[in-house]
Amino acid sequence: MLRAYRSSEVAAAERPLIEAGVPLMERASFAVSTAVARELKARGHRVAGSRILVLAGGGNNGGDALYAGAYLARRGAIVDVACPAGNVHEGGYAAAIDAGCRTVADDELATAARAAGVWIDGLAGIGLRPPLRDPLASVVAMLETERATSPDEPIVVAVDCPTGIGVDDGGVSGPVLRATVTVALAVAKPGLLAPPASRFCGRVEVVDIGLSVPGLPAVAALGGSDVADVLRVPDATDHKYTRGVVLLGTGSAEYPGAAVLTAGGALGGGAGMVRLDSPDVASLVLRTYPEVVTGMGRAQATVIGSGVPATDVDRLRGPLDRALAENYPVVVDAGALSLLKDGYEDLPSTAVLTPHAGELAELLSARGEGLTRSDIEAAPIRAVRLAATVTGATIVLKGGTDVIAGPDGPVYAQPARSHWRATAGAGDVYAGLLGALLAGAGEDLARAGRGYGQPALLAAAASWLHAEAAHSDGPIRAGQIAERLPAAIAQALRG
């Protein structure tokens, strides 16, 4: 699991170590220099003779970059050092000059940038309060122009974070120096995991510098082994009912395929049984999935709304109210979200809402929170937290990175593995899959009741599995994502 902590929490954890003389900057800069050497090697280059540009701001982030430049210069790299902030980390600068680095004047920076195969971004780290001000804002804008017009894309290694991102909120409110690799010191930071800032980070590598940050992370991203930990693997005592029954109120005459796709998601996600309560589309679903049982009946989780237009959602009020009354998990997707605009003041965390940004904006505005779709896209962490707080429910904001929050616990940010998955019906598969994971945990979740963080964790696991199943070098259909879910589960369990 990647755990991200806010800058104030990292700074508080650093303080006693710095006071005790622990050489954190030495470790951090060494880790950065190692990352640079590895990137060069991966492209068939050696450190010796490579041209490297160190971009150093006035804070400790600049210090890290300068010491890293000194290490690399000692290994034979040709290192230029640019300090455009007007001030500089004195120890780092002295070390760089001592190791043979050359200082670049402001008016030589564009030429030096073009000549270098690697840029080390130490302009600002967790001490930055965005948006980036001049002169650094102009420098970053110039470097981005330089890179866009240069025939050879430089390797940009960001120290701790790409300069300019909202480290704590994941926002992007000004120029950002996009990274190839971000070397996150000690722990990730929220902006490295959550969009839109995460789109500027390239690959995120967390390096150990002997600093641990206590407490729950603000944002987390599950890996395969975390998913394996939360998946319910059947044993010899299990039968179809104990494995979890998912009831689907999905699909309609207008969108019949959504019922097929949610059923595929639930079956592929390991439900013990799938029931379908959508008579209009039952025969279509049975043609693809004869395993599905039609009609009402007992279930451990309910999925409603996928492929049901707002004009037809009243029939879903019954299954929704029953799930809420019996405290069983319910996934409220697409059309069914409109039911929540009126009433349903205090939902349990076992109600999992799966809106896209437009649907979330409508839901929030019905609850008196005036966030537009673009506000939500600009600050998804804030939006899902707000929505979880005002509804009490667990929120899954679907997108290139799914951003998930319950009323308590961390926000999860689960990225797509390839963006081919942005295709019609992929969300229906997700809703069915999530229904299967929630049904598998049904009794535990029902006992846990309100405010329990588990539904968000299961939703994050569903996002990981969905991303894995949708991983593709070319176009992929939603139906194929459903078909690949069993292999994604096996992959998680193999570790």
Q: Which residues of this chain interact with ligand NPW, rule CB under 6 A? A: 14, 18, 24-25, 28, 57-62, 64, 85, 124-130, 132-133, 136, 159-160, 185
Pairing of strands 245-249, 273-276: parallel
DSSP state of 150: -
Residue 132 contacts which entry, ligand NPW, K ion, none (Cβ below 5-8 A, type-dependent): ligand NPW
Chain centroid offset of residue 327 CA: 29
User: Cβ 192 to K ion, closest distance in Å?
Assistant: 11
Considering the rule CB under 5 A, would residue 163 count as an interface residue with K ion? yes
Considering the rule CB under 5 A, would residue 252 count as an interface residue with K ion? no
Residue at 446: amino acid letter: A
Residue 413 contacts which entry, K ion, ligand NPW, none (Cβ below 5-8 A, type-dependent): none
Residues 119, 146: Cα–Cα separation, whole Å: 12
Residue 196 contacts which entry, ligand NPW, K ion, none (Cβ below 5-8 A, type-dependent): none
Considering the rule CB under 5 A, would residue 262 count as an interface residue with K ion? no
User: Cβ 36 to ligand NPW, closest distance in Å?
Assistant: 15
Please enumerate, by residue number, every residue annotated as part of a binding site for AMP. Answer: 427
Beta-carbon-side half-sphere exposure of residue 39 (alpha carbons within 13 Å): 27
Q: Is residue 342 packed enough to be buried (19+ CB in 10 Å), middle (13-18) or exposed (0-12)? A: exposed
The footprint of K ion on residues 347-406 (CB under 5 A) is none
Pairing of strands 203-207, 181-185: parallel
Chain centroid offset of residue 201 CA: 12
Cβ proximity to ligand NPW, 3 vs 466, nearer residue: 3
Please enumerate, by residue number, every residue annotated as part of a binding site. Answer: 60-64, 121, 125-131, 160, 163, 258, 307, 356, 427-428
Question: Residue 200 in contact with residue 178, Cβ under 8 Å?
Answer: yes
Please enumerate, by residue number, every residue annotated as part of a binding site for (6S)-NADPHX. Answer: 60-64, 125-131, 160, 258, 307, 356, 428
Between 380-391 and 357-366, two packed helices, what is the crossing angle to 10 degrees? 40
Give the x/- contact pattern for K ion in 114-153, rule: CB under 5 A. -------x---x----------------------------
Residue 121 contacts which entry, K ion, ligand NPW, none (Cβ below 5-8 A, type-dependent): K ion
Residue 85 contacts which entry, ligand NPW, K ion, none (Cβ below 5-8 A, type-dependent): ligand NPW
User: Cβ 206 to K ion, closest distance in Å?
Assistant: 15
Residues 104, 179: Cα–Cα separation, whole Å: 21
User: Cβ 7 to ligand NPW, closest distance in Å?
Assistant: 8
Residue 126 contacts which entry, ligand NPW, K ion, none (Cβ below 5-8 A, type-dependent): ligand NPW
Binding region for K ion (CB under 5 A) out of 34-42, 163-171, 178-186, 298-306 = 163-171
Cis peptide before 135 (omega within 30 of 0): yes
Question: Residue 392 in contact with residue 367, Cβ under 8 Å?
Answer: no
Q: In 10 A of CB 363, how many CB atoms?
A: 23
Considering the rule CB under 5 A, would residue 39 count as an interface residue with K ion? no
Question: Residue 164 in contact with residue 186, Cβ under 8 Å?
Answer: no
Which of these, 316, 260, 310, 307, lies nearest to 288 by C-alpha position? 260
Residue 336 contacts which entry, K ion, ligand NPW, none (Cβ below 5-8 A, type-dependent): none
